[in-house]
């Protein structure tokens, strides 16, 4: 029976480090908005010489006047330690202020602090609420995280139907890990009722086209599996292509499976020499199954 090569839930979650300013936030003075704009010039070096210390002073002054985007940047300076040691507690406090004013990027970054317990106690209920609020504002990374919460059951029983709904929203915006996780869901490995191999292949193809190596690996193996099962040259050729592509990206499991393709002659002529070459490459990367094949 087919099993996906990878079961990673997510890649490193990106921190949102910039936001667009859609005019001055509500209830914010003209002076605060001017300070924010000047701070952004010092922060980026666009219009002023880059000076993070001066930028922070201005961001914080504007933030204290209620400017939501300046509050976000003040949090970011504490979060990333741009000019001093990281202080996630202060970052969380400023993200909270910006989040209360509807800043979706602040909601996402604050959710990450709560999800990963970065400088503050883990609070996944709060993280989920914040991810959901940002997702409802069409924040793509948050849509993925809402899907992940439903998929993995972090705070409630897994709900694959809702996971698919939120993953698809993110996947349609080219979120590569959402595309990959959709492929995993549609294999039916954990939720048999949702098995749909063609959908799994489709979403892995979308991720593979974005150079997602685990998607290449699973796409290759799935096609080989289906090719053998259906006696279909089309699937076997696709499988060989994607296994090779993943292998050349350094994926040890794909190297091993390429060895097996040549060992058994799945879609290619049997070639013990090629099989051994791929087993050796996989074994050098620590693949135990390849080591066993070399010992035979």
Domain boundaries, the chain: 221-296
Distance between CA atoms of residues 269 and 275, nearest Å? 11
- Topology at the third CATH level for domain 221-296: 1.25.40
Residue 94's closest CA among 121, 60, 123, 117? 60
Question: What pLDDT does residue 222 have?
Answer: 96
Residue 296 pLDDT class (50, 70, 90 cuts): confident
Which residues, including other chains, have CB under 8 Å from residue 136's CB and lie 6 or more apart? none
The yes-or-no verdict on residue 11 having pLDDT over 60 is no
Return the pLDDT at 24. 40
**Residue 144 neighbours by CB under 8 Å, 6+ apart:** 10, 166, 167, 170, 175, 177, 178, 181
Q: Which H helix or E strand runs over 227? A: helix 213-230
Looking at per-residue pLDDT, the higher value among 224 and 3 belongs to 224
Report residue 21's pLDDT band, with 50, 70 and 90 as the boundaries.
very low
14, pLDDT greater than 70: no
Looking at residue 57, the DSSP 8-state letter turns out to be H
pLDDT band at 127 (very low <50, low <70, confident <90, very high): very high
What's the DSSP call for residue 192?
G
Q: Is the pLDDT of residue 98 over 50?
A: yes
Within 8 A by CB and 6+ apart from 10, the residues are 144, 145, 148, 177, 181
pLDDT of residue 15: 67
Sign of CA dihedral 65, 66, 67, 73: positive
Q: In whole angstroms, give the CA distance from residue 13 to residue 145.
A: 9
Radius of gyration of the chain (CA): 24
User: Mean pLDDT across the stretch 96-115?
Assistant: 98
Instruction: Using a cut of 0.85, tell me whether the model's pTM lies above it.
Output: yes
| Residue 261 to residue 224: CA distance in whole angstroms | 8
């Amino acid at each position: 029976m087919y099993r996906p090569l990878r079961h990673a839930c997510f890649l490193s979650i990106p921190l949102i480090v910039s936001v667009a300013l859609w005019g001055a936030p509500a209830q914010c003075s003209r002076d605060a908005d001017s300070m924010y704009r000047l701070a952004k010039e010092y922060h980026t070096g666009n219009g002023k010489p880059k000076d993070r210390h001066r930028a922070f002073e201005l961001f914080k002054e504007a933030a204290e006047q209620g400017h939501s985007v300046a509050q976000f940047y003040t949090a970011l300076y504490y979060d990333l330690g741009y000019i001093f040691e990281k202080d996630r507690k202060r970052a969380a406090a400023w993200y909270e202020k910006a989040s209360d004013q509807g800043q979706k990027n602040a909601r996402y970054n604050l959710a990450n602090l709560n999800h990963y317990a970065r400088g503050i106690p883990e609070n996944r209920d709060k993280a989920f609420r914040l991810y959901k609020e940002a997702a409802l504002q069409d924040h793509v990374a948050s849509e993925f995280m809402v899907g992940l919460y439903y998929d993995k059951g972090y705070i409630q029983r897994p709900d694959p139907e809702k996971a698919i709904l939120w993953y698809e929203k993110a996947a349609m915006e080219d979120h590569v890990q959402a595309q990959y996780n959709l492929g995993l869901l549609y294999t039916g490995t954990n939720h048999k009722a949702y098995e749909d191999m063609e959908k799994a292949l489709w979403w892995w193809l979308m991720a593979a086209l974005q150079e997602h190596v685990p998607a290449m690996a699973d796409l290759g193996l799935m096609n080989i599996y289906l090719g053998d099962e259906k006696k279909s040259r089309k699937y076997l050729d696709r499988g060989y292509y994607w296994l090779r592509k993943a292998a050349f990206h350094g994926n040890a499991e794909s190297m091993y499976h390429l060895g097996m393709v040549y060992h058994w002659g799945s879609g290619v002529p049997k070639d013990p020499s090629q099989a051994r070459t791929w087993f050796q490459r996989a074994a050098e990367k620590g693949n135990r199954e390849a080591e066993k094949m070399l010992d035979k």
